[in-house]
């Protein structure tokens, strides 16, 4: 893992992924670190996510 310290004005991209039998859920967030917490730069995800069959 990284030993870099997260600092103010850094922009981070977080991409968690959950795999389970029968499917995968993956989302992304891009945010800037501010003195008062994260400033989200990503568009808000829809309440209902599409189901994609492959």
User: How far is CA 32 from each of CA 7, 8, 18, 39, 47, rounded to the nearest angstrom?
Assistant: 10, 8, 24, 5, 23
The tokens for 11 are: 């922009």
**Which pTM value belongs to this model?**
0.65
The whole-number pLDDT of residue 24 equals 86
The whole-number pLDDT of residue 44 equals 78
pLDDT per residue as tens digits for the range 8-45: 999 999 999 999 998 888 888 999 999 999 999 998 77
| Calpha distance 40→51 (Å, rounded) | 25
The whole-number pLDDT of residue 31 equals 96
């Amino acid at each position: 893992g990284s030993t870099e310290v997260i600092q103010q004005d850094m922009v981070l991209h977080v991409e968690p992924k959950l795999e389970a039998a029968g499917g995968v859920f993956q989302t992304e967030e891009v945010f800037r670190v501010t003195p008062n917490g994260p400033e989200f730069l990503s568009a808000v995800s829809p309440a209902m996510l599409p189901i994609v069959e492959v």
